[in-house]
Amino acid sequence: MTCIDPNKLASLHQRETQRFIRDHPKSAALYSRAQDSLLGGVPMNWMKKWAGPFPVFFQSAKGAHFTDVDGREYIDLCLGDTGAMTGHSPDAVIEAVARQSSNGITLMLPMEDALWVGENLKQRFGLPLWQFTLTATDANRFAIRIAREITQRRKILVFNFCYHGTVDESFATIDRDGAVGPRRGNIGPPVHPAETTRVVEFNNLDALEAALKQNDVACILAEPAMTNVGIILPDDGYWPAAQEIARRYGTLFIADETHTICAGPGGCTRAWHLTPDLLVFGKTIGSGIPGAAYGCTQEVADRISARIHLEDCDVGGIGGTLAGNALSLAAMRATLERILTPSSFEYMIRLATRFTEGVTAEISTAKLPWSVTQLGARAEYTFISSAPRNGGASYAASDFELERFLHLYALNRGVLLTPFHNMALMCPATTESDVDAHTKIFAACIAELTSSQ
C-alpha cells in the first residue's frame, strides 16, 4: 500500500541498525546495565518504542538540540512529544524554577502565581475558572468526573483512535460494524470499555448524533484536531455543528488542547472560535515541569458547586497532593508569560510551513502517494495521498515497519522524530537550517527506498 518494496525496506533497515549499533556503544552499555534494575530496561514502558534496537541515552539538551552519551548531536523534532514544545530548558523557566526551588516547592497552600496563571489561561482560552493537576491525563480524568457528576450520566464519547493520556474510558475503538471494544494493546481494562464509552469516527456528524441521542452521554472528550493517529483536521463546519448536537442532547464538550495548543496561543479553541464547557491543557504549559490545567465555564462551575461539599472535597476522586504545587506554577507562569507568546507562535508556525512545503516537494519528486498535514507548529506525513478524515482511515494507512525505518534513518543522521507516527514539532529555538536538514535527510531516505537498485 505504501509502494515500498518490503525486501528493500528490510535490507536497508538492517544496514541502518548495524550503523546505529556501531555509533552508540555507550547507550548500548547503559541499556544492558538497565536490564538489572528497570522493567524492560527503560524508566517508562514506551521508551522502548524508539527506532533502533535500544534507546539513545541523552546527556544534555538545550533549545531544539540534544547530545547523547556517545557525544552525538541531534536536532530534536520530537520535543518530548510536546512536553518540550517551548524548547529544552528555556532560560526563563530555569530562572523561575531555580528561584522557586529555594523558596518552597509544595505546601498545599495557594500562591500568587496560581492567580496569574489562571488569569492568563482565562484570557487565552476564554474559559473563566481554572484548576491544576500534575498531568494532562489527570486533568482529563477530573474533567470527565465533573461532567459525569453534574450531568448524572455514566457514559463518555471519544473519537476512534484518539489518545488523551492514560484515561481508562478512552482506550476504546470501534470495529467495522461500529461495535465498541478495547483498543489493541489496552493493558488490564477495568471493565469492558463499551460499558463506559461510545466511540464514533471524527468528522461524522450523523454518527455523533446517533451516539448522543439516547441522552445518556455526559461528555465528548476530544482534541479539536486529532493529533495522535497522525494529524486529522476537522471538516469545514464540523465543530459548529458537533457542538450544536452536543448542546441539543445535554452533552458537555471537553476540548483537550494538550497537543493542539500548537495551533496558536489559545489553541484551536481560540483559532476556530470553539466554545467548550471544559478545556484541558498540559505538557508544555510548564515547559516540561510536571503540571497541567483544566478550565470550565461559569455554568459548569455553578453546577459543580451545587453538588460538592466542603467536608468531602478531599475524598471525591479529584485530587493530587502535589497538584498546583509552587514549582509547577512558577514554571507555568514563566512559560506562559515569556515563551508561549504570539510572536513565538508566528515563528514556530512559519517553520512548520517550511517543513510541510519541503517534505511535500520531496514526496512529489519521488512520486510517492503520501501526504503532509500541518496544524500550526506541528506537521506530519502519512502514507496516503490525501489527508485522512478520521482515525480509522489514518490508522489503516499506518505502516509500523516503514515508520521505524524512516525514524532510524533520520536518527542515524542526527534528527529525532517522535516514536509514534511521523510527527515533527517546532519550538522557538528550532531554526530554518534544522528544518532543511530534516528535509534533506528525508529526501535521501526516500530516494534510497524508491531507487531501482
Q: Least distance from C-beta 149 to ligand PLP, angstroms? A: 21
- Total residues contacting ligand PLP by CB under 6 A comes to 15
5-32 burial, b for 16+ CB within 10 Å, e for fewer?
A: eeeebeebbeebbebbeebbeebbebbe
Residue 192 Cβ, how far from ligand PLP at the closest point, in Å?
23
> Shortest gap between Cβ of 431 and ligand PLP (angstroms)?
26
* 137 near ligand PLP (CB under 6 A): yes
C-alpha distance from residue 287 to each of 82, 103, 171, 278, 355 (Å): 9, 20, 27, 22, 23
Nearer to ligand PLP, 193 or 282 (CB): 282
Instruction: Mark the segment that binds ligand PLP (CB under 6 A) among 49-57, 117-125, 129-137, 194-202.
Output: 129-137
Q: Which residues contact 32 (CB under 8 A, 6 or more apart)?
A: 41
Pairing of strands 73-76, 415-416: parallel
165 lies in the binding site for ligand PLP (CB under 6 A): yes
258 near ligand PLP, rule: CB under 6 A: yes
**Read out DSSP for 356-415?**
HHHHHHHHHHTT-S-EEEEETTEEEEESSSS--SSHHHHHHT--HHHHHHHHHHHHHTTE
Contact code string over 398-417 relative to ligand PLP, x by CB under 6 A: --------------------
The residues pairing with 281 across neighbouring beta strands, listed in sequence order, are: 293
Q: Residue 133 or residue 439: which is nearer to ligand PLP going by CB?
A: 133
Cα separation, 100 vs 328, whole angstroms: 9
Q: Is 135 in the site for ligand PLP (CB under 6 A)?
A: yes
Among 84, 136, 157, 375, binds ligand PLP (CB under 6 A): 136
Asked whether position 141 contacts ligand PLP by CB under 6 A, the answer is no
CB nearer ligand PLP, residue 324 or residue 358: 324
**Residue 320 CB, nearest approach to ligand PLP (Å):** 12
First to last CA, the chain: 20
What is the CB-side half-sphere exposure of residue 301 using CA atoms within 13 A? 11
Among 283, 303, 407, 421, binds ligand PLP (CB under 6 A): 283
Q: Checking phi first, is residue 173 left (phi over 0); if not, alpha (psi -120 to 50) or beta?
A: beta
Smallest gap from Cβ 216 to ligand PLP, in A, equals 24
Min CB(121)–ligand PLP separation in Å:
16
Residue 54: phi and psi, rounded to 5, are -150, 160
256 binds ligand PLP per the rule CB under 6 A? yes
DSSP code string of 112-168: HHHHHHHHHHHHHH---EEEEESSHHHHHHHHHHHHHHHHT--EEEEETT---SS-G
Print the binding letters for residues 215-254 with ligand PLP: x by CB under 6 A, - otherwise.
--------x----x--------------------------
Q: By the 8 A CB rule, do 377 and 426 touch? A: yes
Cβ of residue 129: shortest distance to ligand PLP, in angstroms? 20
CA distance 17 to 51: 9
Part in contact with ligand PLP (CB under 6 A); list of ranges 256-264, 406-414, 421-429, 432-440: 256-264
Q: Is 31 in the site for ligand PLP (CB under 6 A)?
A: no
Give me the 89-128 binding string for ligand PLP, x by CB under 6 A, dash otherwise. Answer: ----------------------------------------
| Sheet with strand 371-375: strands edge to edge | 371-375, 378-382, 423-425
Residues in the chain: 453
By CB under 6 A, is residue 16 in contact with ligand PLP?
no
Regarding 164 and contact with ligand PLP (CB under 6 A), the answer is yes
- Using a 10 angstrom Cβ sphere, with 0-12 exposed, 13-18 middle and 19 or more buried, the burial of residue 39 is exposed
Query: How far, in Å, CA of 248 to CA of 250, rounded?
Result: 6
Least distance in angstroms from the C-beta of 330 to ligand PLP: 19
Nearer to ligand PLP, 230 or 282 (CB): 282
Map the footprint of ligand PLP across residues 263-282, applying CB under 6 A: 282
Pick the stretch among 29-37, 157-165, 391-399, 437-445 that binds ligand PLP (CB under 6 A).
157-165
Q: How far apart are CA 13 and CA 408, in angstroms?
A: 8
Question: Would you count residue 328 as binding ligand PLP (CB under 6 A)?
Answer: no
Residues that bind ligand PLP (CB under 6 A): 81, 135-137, 140, 163-165, 223, 228, 256, 258-259, 282-283
